[in-house]
Structure 1
Amino acid sequence: MTAPALQAIHLHKDFRGFTATNDVTLDVHEGEIHAVIGPNGAGKTTLFNLLSGFLKPTSGEVRLFGERVDRLPPEVLVRRGLSRSFQISSVFPSMTVRENLAVALQAPTHLPRQFWTSERVLAEFDDRINQILEEVGLSDLQYRLAADLSHGEKRGLEIGLSLTQDPRVLLLDEPTSGMGSEGIERVISLVRRVAVGRTVVMVEHNMSVVAQLADRITVLQYGQVIASGPYEQVRHDPAVIAAYLGHEADIFAEDGPGEPTGAAPVGSPGPVRP
């Protein structure tokens, strides 16, 4: 049997006596969109940080396509095929959309360490940049400054930055956070496009979004898995209803509960074409 694309196996994470995740086991099948939901303080962000290498587990394992990876740093996980977007914007606002993608593509190469680079060398990235722009729906905005993008357009650029490393597994942290209905619809369409040929795991507070996108859902409460399965199964689970302290119509309304999530890393740009 083929190993799951991503696995959490009996994951524990303690912070000075506080247990943030408690015996979390999760299997994400290759090619699916898997949503992780739960009330505030449920441990969703901690789980994402463990899966993406930003935290090391107190005990337990993380496996990527069968390989144990929980002791590897995030930059190594990216090279192994796992990439992540963050809830808080992590783009270079004074650069154009195209330049942001160029920086991300150049970062793993020798180019950021070079003082001078020819136009011919930089042109090698053009086809891949064009492909990503098309995939995230930003071709018409490629020369616009990132600072001038709408919230939904910035989210598209952030996902585009994640795609520059050709991930097989993409983790999306609250992709529709802070958006109105128009932005939410844009992101739903975007996630559907980028999920083709990839595995997507997302933390998401909007249950309407989860219902439209997720093949399966895992629900956390107090750091533990209380339910897992298809949307229709999970929405009627008594433990899930009790966790949200409401009835089904409230729990799975369009504006479901959420929690603040992680901060974006910082970096410095390498060479880009003027």
Structure 2
Amino acid sequence: MTVISQLQAGNRPTPVAALEARHLVKEFRGFRATNDVSLQINEGEIHAIIGPNGAGKTTLFNLLSGFLRPTSGEVHLFGERVDQLRPYEIVRRGLSRSFQISSVFPTMTVRDNVLVALQSPTPLPHQFWSPLSRLDALGEQAEQILEAVGLGAAHERLAADLSHGEKRQLEIGISLTQQPRVLLLDEPTSGMGSEGIARVIALVREVARGRTVVLVEHNMSVVAELADRITVLQYGAVLASGRYDDVRQDPRVIEAYLGEEGH
């Protein structure tokens, strides 16, 4: 049955899993930071992972992106098992991420931060005696990325001189240099005022065109604005998963995390 005939028959096509966690367990000296976590993130959706401090969100992100290896369980990216791969190998298969703590080079310009990231999958970083003119081929691509994340006019500024929100925009731009099919964003609006949050919401919507986005986020108004589906973690385990309007009504979620926000 084709997709069109499925729709005509009233049946939705089966979602394609972009990223899957299967029974993930991560132990640190007997403490389980993630406890049998299974979730499916579908291709093309924005999926938010929420939960109180200590729920295991960052550990889960590190497992999904290869910065930690699971004690048991598996991670699959578009059907391929990737949990035994190194982070750069996972990046080359289409997954990129940002971090909760700013990870830009502060003494370099905004443009040069992007250029360094663009070089990484090429032979250029290992060709120390190559003329700088070889970077010119990447310059146009760098400018396009900076325009896409709203930093086109800031390309010659030092990264250290950017505001907190602008650094977040730059980090997302750096993530985009690897042309990811799946983008993981760790608390992209953390520490921002309302103006910065509005810019990041618009940016996430833009970069989500044609790719899958997974974000850890504490700001529930941001989650409500962006997420197609959400997964709630508590004590390292999945408490609930589904569409925002459904999950926010779950009494377990209200009690554990949302409080009055769930009403």
Aligned to 1:244: 257
Alpha-carbon contact 1:97-1:157 (below 8 Å) kept: yes
- Kindly indicate whether the alpha-carbon contact (under 8 Å) linking 1:12 and 1:19 is maintained by their aligned counterparts in 2: yes
Partner residue, 2:61: 48
Task: Specify the alignment match of 1:232 in structure 2.
Answer: 245
Structure 1 outlier segments of 4+, above 4 Å: none
CA distance in 2, matches of 1:5, 1:135: 24
Equivalent residue in structure 2 for 1:21, among 34, 48, 62: 34
- CA distance in structure 1 between the aligned counterparts of 2:191 and 2:170, rounded to whole angstroms: 16
Q: Is the 8 A contact 1:21 1:46 kept in 2?
A: yes
TM-score normalised by L of structure 1: 0.88
CA distance in 2, matches of 1:243, 1:48: 21
Cα offset, 1:47, TM superposition = 0.5
Select 2:226's aligned residue among 188, 213, 216: 213
Cα drift, residue 162 of structure 1? 0.5
User: Does the alignment pair 1:204 with 2:217?
Assistant: yes
SS in 2 for 1:5: strand
Give the aligned partner of residue 133 of structure 1.
Answer: 146
What SS does the corresponding residue of 1:131 show, helix, strand or coil?
helix
**Corresponding residue for 1:163?**
176
The structure with higher relative contact order (CA 8 Å, sep 6+) is 1
Alignment equivalent of 1:143, drawn from 156, 171, 183: 156
Residue 223 of structure 1, aligned match among 236, 242, 251: 236
The answer as to 2:205 corresponding to 1:184 is: no
2:83 corresponds to which of 70, 75, 87: 70
- In structure 2, the partner of 1:89 is 102
Instruction: Please give the per-residue CA displacement for 1:188-231, whole angstroms capped at 9, x wherever unaligned.
Output: 11111111111000000000000000000000001111111111
Q: Which residue of 1 aligns with 2:113?
A: 100
Q: Post-superposition shift, 1:2? A: 6.2
Q: 1:3 offset after TM fit, Å?
A: 4.1
The C-alpha deviation readout for 1:57-115, integer Å capped at 9, x for no partner, is: 11111000000001111010000000010011111111111011011111222222223
Secondary structure (helix, strand or coil) at the match of 2:188 reads coil
- How far apart in 1 are the matches of 2:78 and 2:128? 38
Normalised to the residue count of structure 2, the TM-score between the two structures is: 0.92
Give RMSD over aligned pairs: 1.4
SS in 2 for 1:137: coil
The corresponding residue for 2:11 is none
* Runs of 5+ consecutive residues of structure 2 not aligned to the other structure: 1-13
CA distance in 2, matches of 1:18, 1:92: 34
